[in-house]
Amino acid sequence: MKVNFIVEDFLFFKYVGCATAAKMLFSELNTFGDLTLLWNSKDKECDLVHFHTFGPMALLYKKLSGGIKVITAHSTPRLNEKNLAFSSVINAFYPSIYRSFDHIIAISERCRGEVIEMAPAVPCTLIPNGIDISPFHRYPERRIRFRKRFSIKDDQRVVLTVAQQTPRKGIFDFLDVAQKCPDVMWVWVGGFPYSFFSKEFSRIQKMKRSSRANVIFSGFIPDITEAYNGADIFFMPSFAEGMSIVLLEAMANELPCIVRDIPEFREIFKDDGLYFKTIDEVATIVSNQERLQKVVSLSKRLVHNYDIHRIAERHRILYKELINR
C-alpha cells in the first residue's frame, strides 16, 4: 500500500500546525510494516494521496496524480477569520476545493460539521490530531535553562501561551490579563507566520511595544519543551481552533491549562476544564493553586486519547478501507 503525503512545508506553512501535525503522523505511520510512505513525491502511481495543505503546489499535484485523494481539513473558513487580513478572499475557495476530493478527514466535531456543510457529497471521517507524548515531561534542567534565557526568577510564576500572534488566538486578551496580574510573568511563544498579512498586524506590534515588564514575546523557540518546562500554567485564549497540538503538548507536560469556553475545548475536557469567558475569571483561576493542581491529573489521563500511535492506527485503517473499496 503506497501512500504519498502532500504537505507544502515551506514559507509560512512550516510555521503553522498543519505541517507539524502531518510530520508527526508521517513519522508514526512509518513504523507500520505494511505501508510505503512518500513525502511530496512526484510518483503518480500511488494507491492513495493524503493532502494536508491545498496551496498552488498541492492543487497542481492533485491534477497530475492518480490514486484516491484524501485531504485533512486542518483549516476551515472560521479559522481564517481574525487570523488573516484577506480571509474573505481565501474563504471563497474552500467549498469548491473540498468538494474536489474523494474523502475528507476532519480534526474535530466542529470542523466536521463545517466540512459537511461545504461538501455534503464527500464522505468525511473524524480523526483528531495527535502528538508524540514521550518528549513531554518535567525536566528541571530545561526549566532552569528557559528561565535563565529570559531572566525569569526561580520563584516567579509563569503563564505560557504558544500560538500565532493574531486576534483569533486571543492576543489582546492575553495582554489585558497580564495587566490585571502584574505579579505573574506572561510569556507568548510564537510569531507572525503570515507576516504583515496577519490580521491587525500593525496594531499588535504597537501594543507589544507598549506592553508591561511582566510580558515576554519570545518568538520562535527551537526546543518547545523548554518553554513548557519553564512555565507553571498554560493559557489558551483562542476564540476558534481546529484541534490544538500545543494544548495537547501542554497537557502531556503536566501543565494546568486555562482555556476559553469554546466547543473545541469542551470536546477535549468535557465539563472538567478550567474554562473562562471573561478576563476577570482568568485572573481568579491563576491565583487558585488548588484548582489548578486538581486539573493536572485529569489532563494526563485525557491526553493519552491523542497519542500519535493511536491516531496513526486510525489513519492506517481508513487508508485500507478506502483502497479496498
Q: In the structure grid, which three cell numbers stand for residue 124, read together?
A: 468525511
Q: Are 63 and 71 in contact (CB under 8 A)?
A: no
- Report pLDDT for 227: 97
Q: What is the CA radius of gyration of the chain?
A: 20
Better-predicted residue by pLDDT, 73 or 17? 73
- Report pLDDT for 11: 59
Class of domain 140-305: alpha beta
CA 271, chain centre distance (Å): 21
Per-residue pLDDT tens digits for 98-127: 999 999 999 999 999 999 999 999 999 999
Q: Determine the CATH number of domain 2-130+307-323.
A: 3.40.50.2000
Q: How high is the mean pLDDT of the chain?
A: 92
What is the identity of the amino acid at 162?
A: V
Q: In the structure grid, which three cell numbers stand for residue 163, read together?
A: 500560538
What residues pair up with 160 in beta bridges, in sequence order? Answer: 187, 234
What DSSP designation does 198 have? B
- Report pLDDT for 10: 66
Give SS3 for 275: strand
Mean pLDDT is lowest, of 189-203, 230-244, 276-290, for 189-203
Q: Where are the domains of the chain?
A: 2-130+307-323, 140-305
Per-residue pLDDT tens digits for 253-297: 999 999 999 999 999 998 888 999 999 999 999 999 999 998 888
Residue 14 above 70 pLDDT? Answer: no
Beta strands in the chain (DSSP E): 2-6, 36-39, 48-51, 68-73, 103-106, 124-126, 158-162, 185-189, 215-219, 233-236, 257-260, 274-276
Per-residue pLDDT tens digits for 40-92: 998 889 999 999 988 888 888 898 888 999 999 999 999 888 777 677 888 89
Per-residue pLDDT tens digits for 122-178: 999 999 999 999 999 999 999 999 999 999 999 999 999 999 999 999 999 999 999
Residue 12 above 80 pLDDT? Answer: no
Q: Any alpha helices (H) in 121-162, and if so which ranges? A: 140-149
2-130+307-323 shares its CATH topology with 140-305: yes
Residues in the chain: 325
Sheet holding 233-236, edge to edge: 215-219, 185-189, 158-162, 233-236, 257-260, 274-276
Residue 250 above 70 pLDDT? Answer: yes
Q: Compute the distance between CA of residue 105 and CA of residue 80 in angstroms, rounded to an integer.
A: 18
- Report pLDDT for 170: 95
Which residue's C-alpha cell is 490580521? 199
What residues pair up with 43 in beta bridges, in sequence order? Answer: none
What DSSP designation does 214 have? T
What is the identity of the amino acid at 221?
A: I
Residue 19 above 80 pLDDT? Answer: yes
Q: Compute the distance between CA of residue 22 and CA of residue 74 in angstroms, rounded to an integer.
A: 10
- Report pLDDT for 154: 93
Global pTM?
0.91
pLDDT band of residue 22 (cuts 50, 70, 90) is: very high
Residue 225 above 90 pLDDT? Answer: yes
- Report pLDDT for 88: 82
